[in-house]
Structure 1
């Protein structure tokens, strides 16, 4: 790759990390990224007695647990070495995360657990979404509040005016540089599920969002990436295809 100039796709506008899978996340000014993804991202999950993780869908690894999105999680002081703090729907930290989710979900067979041998990620480590695609979603569902939290990306990229929606599709198979050392290889888009429609904090439930994606883009949205070279990402960094 060397110093060969690349094609600038946009700049990093927001950085999101989700310490506890399927809850609302935390906004960061910068983040370390290793082979697993953003350090600390989805490192914890709500796990049931069968070893399935709380999610917006039922699969071999995941168990649908409605309501988790109304909660948020964060690492106090950004210290990933400690378990994350869980915030209730009013934004107040809870004293005991496992005890709280048991009461909240009405289940005594769940616990907040750190990732072990089974990955907490739905698909690939890093999700990147553009403002061009996000603006398309807003236009497709007028009257429905929409921001990137609906789609839970790690990176929101501000794209230039005139950039087409779903431009992320053009990146698949390419490697991008972010900052001095970070390299992401774009592989494919996320396949969206009912979680996209669910209420969270100040965003109400709406089935129109997933319906619009199904009609226009086969329920796919964003660019999923693997980490080709670890590094750091900071707000304002450019995203360049190499």
Structure 2
């Protein structure tokens, strides 16, 4: 057994704060409704913490939050202002918030909203190491935007996720995932969000200790449901 599911995170709108869940369905695309929407500009680039071929840096998005009303991904997600209140018109709000008239909150089309693979898994062992490496800087898993935080047994070394690459794990009764590789981290790990202040130290220590990489990215081998407390076992 690798550990148990400690937290489940879904991010209805890419690069915006997400929602904690007790359980959720998972299919080949990932958690139902995860990153199904994104802030998109007139050139078709998605709001992010970086500038790339597909992404446009839009500072401040992490101060916002998103959730599906009633917890179901069949509805359009709500956008929440920094004070936690839902906004009546997400498009108007993000245009004013970003001071840009060319952006909208758009559903995924032909181009995937995912940076890489559909599922990100992080362990408490690695998260605890980051906390110890940057004393005085508030750190929790929101810095790294995993879908699943796995509580690992005492004594588990940091970056244990590396040992899982190329293996398949069962989560709960039916869900099976295959660990592929880790995420290459960017400046989003340093960004301020809600009660977490900006700090350049976080990305710096990850770069020095682990070549900018942290978590385990996975594909879904067999759809299923994940719940808090589910065991994660190699198959």
TM-score, normalization by structure 1? 0.97
Distance 1:216 1:79 in 2: 39
Provide the residue aligned with 2:183 in structure 1: 190
Provide the residue aligned with 1:31 in structure 2: 24
Provide the residue aligned with 2:135 in structure 1: 142
Provide the residue aligned with 1:4 in structure 2: none
After superposition, give the CA deviation of every residue in 1:83-139 in whole Å (9 maximum; x if it has no partner). 100000000100000100000000000000000000000010000000000000000
Distance 1:81 1:137 in 2: 36
User: Which one of the candidate residues 79, 87, 96 is aligned to 1:86?
Assistant: 79
After superposition, give the CA deviation of every residue in 1:13-72 in whole Å (9 maximum; x if it has no partner). 000000000000000000100100000000000000000000111111111111000000
Distance 1:236 1:24 in 2: 23
Does 2:123 correspond to 1:130? yes
Does 2:144 correspond to 1:158? no
Provide the residue aligned with 1:170 in structure 2: 163
Aligned runs of 1:7-46 on 2, under 5 Å? 8-46=1-39
* Aligned-partner SS, 1:104: helix
Distance 2:72 2:224 in 1: 18
Q: Please, which runs of 5 or more residues in structure 1 have no aligned partner?
A: 1-7
The alpha carbon displacement at 1:81 in A equals 1.3
TM-score, normalization by structure 2? 1.00
Does 2:55 correspond to 1:65? no
Distance 1:123 1:19 in 2: 17
Provide the residue aligned with 1:101 in structure 2: 94
The alpha carbon displacement at 1:233 in A equals 0.2
Distance 1:42 1:138 in 2: 27
Q: Please, which runs of 5 or more residues in structure 2 have no aligned partner?
A: none
Say which is worse superposed, 188-197 or 78-87, in terms of deviation: 78-87
Provide the residue aligned with 2:218 in structure 1: 225
Distance 1:30 1:113 in 2: 25
Distance 1:179 1:111 in 2: 37
Distance 2:64 2:104 in 1: 15
The alpha carbon displacement at 1:79 in A equals 2.1
